[in-house]
Amino acid sequence: MKNIFFALLYFTFHQYVYSQEYYIVRGDTLTKTEFKVRVKEAKKAKLVSKNKKQRLKFKYRVKKKEVLKEITYYSVNFVYFRPGAEPSDQLFNLLNKPFPTFPLKNIKNEQVVFRYPSKKPALVNLWFTTCPPCRKEIPELNRIKSLYQDKMNFVAITFEERQKVVNFLKKEEFNFEMLLDAKFYQSDKISGTMSYPVILLIDKIGVIRFVDSGIINYKDQSGKTIYKSSELIAEIETMIN
């Protein structure tokens, strides 16, 4: 009987230890319980806007599953998107593929075309002015630009018209080069990328080397906003060195 008890105890312990699951979200390794809490918090972002038409939907997708010593790790992306614009996994299929060149207008109404090879890699942010998670990450994007502006190009692309962006910039600082009215480009050239925000890192020869659905952020107990941008910064460091 004693041997049976210890056998059952060992089996239970073995199943507990070796059937664990962990979720990697923006560089954080979370237990299943912690991941559920993070998902619950992320879903609240869609309630920021009082206008129901502007409220964003939320979903997550598993990018990668890996089993190491019988412990399962899931790499997960969080994605926000406008109602009726379900995000497509095609966006993440663009990794290691050429970034499409395009003619678009900047804030001065001048035509801009991406051409490669380029002297610098680029960080491209897909966003729009009434997107809550897009707006929340802007201060951190500005900070990252201040660190690397001599070594990278920083571009923000939106489907919105010029005047709407101009009005937004009168109230909030966003230091990227603005490319506007890109609805056709975003929906067609980048394979239906209607989820926001999106961050792309493009190398000097025009190949997409990094794709992510924005910079996760939250407020600590003191009310200070904390940004989880270490993974993005590490990728930038790799590209410029």
Q: Which domain holds residue 67?
A: 7-240
- Predicted confidence (pLDDT) at residue 13 exceeds the cutoff of 50: no
- Which residue would you say has higher pLDDT here, 50 or 111? 111
Q: State which amino acid sits at residue 36.
A: K
- Predicted confidence (pLDDT) at residue 132 exceeds the cutoff of 60: yes
In a domain, 148, yes or no: yes
Q: Which residues pair with 219 in a beta bridge?
A: 225
- In this predicted model, what pLDDT tens digit does every residue of 147-169 receive, in sequence order? 999 999 999 999 899 999 999 99
In a domain, 1, yes or no: no
- Grade residue 140 by pLDDT with cuts at 50, 70 and 90: very high
| % pLDDT > 90, the chain | 32
- Grade residue 219 by pLDDT with cuts at 50, 70 and 90: confident
Pairing of the two strands 122-126 and 153-157? parallel
The confidence score (pLDDT) of residue 49 equals 44
- Grade residue 70 by pLDDT with cuts at 50, 70 and 90: confident
- Predicted confidence (pLDDT) at residue 174 exceeds the cutoff of 80: yes
The confidence score (pLDDT) of residue 68 equals 82
The confidence score (pLDDT) of residue 194 equals 57
Q: What is the per-residue burial (b if ≥16 Cβ within 10 Å, else e) of 180-218?
A: bbbeebbeeebbebbbbbbbbbbbeebbbebbbbbbbbe
Most confident option among 92-96, 105-109, 112-116, 142-146? 142-146
- Grade residue 1 by pLDDT with cuts at 50, 70 and 90: low
- Predicted confidence (pLDDT) at residue 11 exceeds the cutoff of 50: no
Could you give the C-alpha distances from 88 to 44, 137, 241, in angstroms and in order?
22, 22, 32
- Predicted confidence (pLDDT) at residue 192 exceeds the cutoff of 70: no
- Which residue would you say has higher pLDDT here, 181 or 55? 181
How far apart (Å, rounded) are the C-alpha atoms in residues 225 and 209? 28
- In this predicted model, what pLDDT tens digit does every residue of 87-109 receive, in sequence order? 555 556 677 888 887 789 999 99
In a domain, 62, yes or no: yes
In a domain, 231, yes or no: yes
In a domain, 68, yes or no: yes
CA 206 to chain centre: 19
Q: What is the per-residue burial (b if ≥16 Cβ within 10 Å, else e) of 79-113?
A: bbbbeeeebbeebbebeeeebeebebbeeeeeebe
Q: State which amino acid sits at residue 147.
A: L
- In this predicted model, what pLDDT tens digit does every residue of 119-130 receive, in sequence order? 999 999 999 999
What is the tally of structural domains in the chain? 1
CATH code for position 77: 3.40.30.10
In a domain, 2, yes or no: no
- Which residue would you say has higher pLDDT here, 41 or 232? 232
Tokens describing residue 120: 């610098």
- The candidate with the shortest Cα–Cα distance to 123, out of 17, 232, 223, is 232
- Grade residue 10 by pLDDT with cuts at 50, 70 and 90: very low
The confidence score (pLDDT) of residue 155 equals 96
In a domain, 185, yes or no: yes
User: Which whole number is the average pLDDT over 46-71?
Assistant: 64
Mean pLDDT of the chain: 79
